[in-house]
Structure 1
């Protein structure tokens, strides 16, 4: 383990402070899903992945990550900056004119860590499969990780990709679903029920695991277990339960914070809950 669970939890608190400050600073963005996925993203970049902050677009010789639900860019930008991809102070430019930190990740600005534009929902799994196949063709032993939102599973392209990966034994792919049960229009169960995701992906030929994405110890163990299943004939799907807005009590569990920025008073209330000795950007 590269960091202790306590150290990872402390990093996650810093990241959550970054998220609420970034979204408040431009009065735009998506804090709810970002906060819910903070523990996962922290574990991924500070413990699980073998990656290099000296960024190379082709990703050869290292693990790579794709964010399909690109609207939760604040958490990704924070984790990238805090792990050395670009200066932390650049987080202050989020969603501002001429910033490299666009509302949805793009490649045009050449921000280190970003390999594909995302946020047009339903496409990330296909992209990750393509990279995983490329790594197999290059005889690499590195892995491809991807994160999908549960709401975006309502896009049909995901299910084509879900069939393709097991059929082609794409077993160097570890995909995670942020299963928070919320999307912009309300609960996923009411908007369009996803049914039993675990049984669905098993029937497609995936190796399926489950995890608690808001418990650092559990998510670290789950991701390392997922790595142990790689190169054994099947892609791996991690169905990760989270709460939207986790870490800030008045944001937890509500789709209303999917894409709303906190005001000055709400920002201070959030920061009062996210106490840290580390420096803000």
Structure 2
């Protein structure tokens, strides 16, 4: 895959942002905040970092894998997949409509290229990513696995079981990202269940942590 310049990535991000807003506005339903918040990161992955194939094969051998644990950010993922050539851009207009493959939370039964698991039940994506990463090691496949989670999702116990497991078993072909926007469906995370020092928690579980303070700055990402 040919690397793109910062300017090119920013142009793609602008288009993806427009897609997300149009999709959510058209049906008056969806989660635009998280989609816009993670836009630059996901665009950078798909258009500059990940080795992936739009000629989709479920097993994903010989390519990097991506799992969206916080499935409510589906508008962003659908736009990036379409703009990456997995399916036609015109299908974005069916988002969250009856009989559409682009449901509010990604699901495999719809047969949408790029989707490997049904997601949206928060807390499960990291466990799936760990399994995929270990499978790659067993297959002597040197590609990486990427997982995105929400910060409210960090209140789920399964996340920490998975984090502990990954560190113990040295699953070092896995990169997990957290959208730290400090908001969740029930309000600010500080009021629902305060995450306090999230970096310290992950480091205590044996993970190397990198902060991206300006997550919407493509150069920083």
Alignment TM-score, normalising by the size of structure 1: 0.77
> Which deviates the most, 68-77 or 194-203?
194-203
- The residue number in structure 1 matching 2:155 is 154
Cα distance between partner residues in 1 of 2:40 and 2:217: 7
- The residue number in structure 2 matching 1:23 is 24
Cα distance between partner residues in 2 of 1:62 and 1:41: 16
- The residue number in structure 2 matching 1:118 is 119
SS at match of 1:217: coil
1:51 aligns with 2:52: yes
SS at match of 1:146: strand
SS at match of 1:177: strand
1:214 aligns with 2:199: no
Cα distance between partner residues in 2 of 1:82 and 1:38: 13
SS at match of 1:210: coil
1:54 Cα deviation from its structure 2 partner: 0.5
1:32 Cα deviation from its structure 2 partner: 0.8
1:8 Cα deviation from its structure 2 partner: 0.4
1:27 Cα deviation from its structure 2 partner: 1.5
1:141 Cα deviation from its structure 2 partner: 0.7
Mark the structure with the bigger radius of gyration: 1
1:34 Cα deviation from its structure 2 partner: 0.5
Instruction: Give ranges in structure 1 of 5+ residues lacking alignment.
Output: 220-281
- The residue number in structure 2 matching 1:6 is 7
1:200 Cα deviation from its structure 2 partner: 1.0
Cα distance between partner residues in 2 of 1:28 and 1:164: 36
> Which deviates the most, 178-187 or 71-80?
178-187
SS at match of 1:91: helix
1:41 Cα deviation from its structure 2 partner: 0.9
**How many residues are matched?**
219
1:203 Cα deviation from its structure 2 partner: 1.1
Cα distance between partner residues in 1 of 2:219 and 2:106: 28
1:25 Cα deviation from its structure 2 partner: 1.2
Counterpart mapping for 1:178-217 below 5 A: 178-211=179-212, 212-217=214-219
SS at match of 1:176: strand
Alignment TM-score, normalising by the size of structure 2: 0.98
- The residue number in structure 2 matching 1:166 is 167
- The residue number in structure 2 matching 1:144 is 145
Moved over 4 A (4+): none
